[in-house]
Amino acid sequence: MSPRASSPATVKIGDVARAAGVSLGTVSKALNGTGSLREETRRHVQEVADRLGFVPDSRGRGLASGRTYTVGFLTTDSFGRFTLPILMGAEDALSVGRMAVILSDTRDDRAREEHLVRSLRGRRVDGLVVTGRSTDERARVDIDIPVVYAFTRPDDPEQCAVLSDEAAGAALAARHLLSLGRSRILHVTGPQRHRSARVRAEAVVDTAGDALVGEPMFGTWSEEWGRRAIDIALASGLDVDAVCCGSDQIARGVLDQLHERRIAVPEQVAVTGYDNWDVMALAARPPLTTVDMNLGEVGRRAGEMLLELIDGREPARCEIIVPPRLEIRGSTV
Residues that bind a copy of itself (CB under 8 A): 1-4, 6-9, 55-59, 68, 70, 73, 78-81, 84, 87-88, 91, 98, 100-103, 105, 107, 118-119, 121-124, 143-147, 158-160, 222-224, 249, 252-253, 256, 279-280, 283, 309, 318
Q: How far apart are CA 329 and CA 311, in angstroms?
A: 43
Burial class (CB in 10 A: 0-12, 13-18, 19+), 78: exposed
List, in order, residues 6 or more apart from 268 with CB less than 8 Å away: 241
Dihedral pair phi/psi, residue 123, rounded to 5°: -85, 0
* In the complex, minimum distance from the CB of residue 281 to a copy of itself, in angstroms, rounded to a whole number: 12
Closest CA to 105 of 132, 75, 85, 125: 75
* In the complex, minimum distance from the CB of residue 231 to a copy of itself, in angstroms, rounded to a whole number: 13
* In the complex, minimum distance from the CB of residue 94 to a copy of itself, in angstroms, rounded to a whole number: 11
Query: For residues 161 and 149, is the Cβ–Cβ distance under 8 A?
Result: yes
The answer to whether the peptide bond before residue 85 is cis (omega within 30 degrees of 0) is no
Q: Closer CB to a copy of itself, residue 218 or residue 225?
A: 225
* In the complex, minimum distance from the CB of residue 182 to a copy of itself, in angstroms, rounded to a whole number: 26
DSSP 8-state class, residue 143: -
Q: Which helix (H) or strand (E) element contains residue 186?
A: strand 185-189
* In the complex, minimum distance from the CB of residue 208 to a copy of itself, in angstroms, rounded to a whole number: 28
Give SS3 for 261: coil
Give SS3 for 260: helix
Give SS3 for 240: coil
* In the complex, minimum distance from the CB of residue 175 to a copy of itself, in angstroms, rounded to a whole number: 29
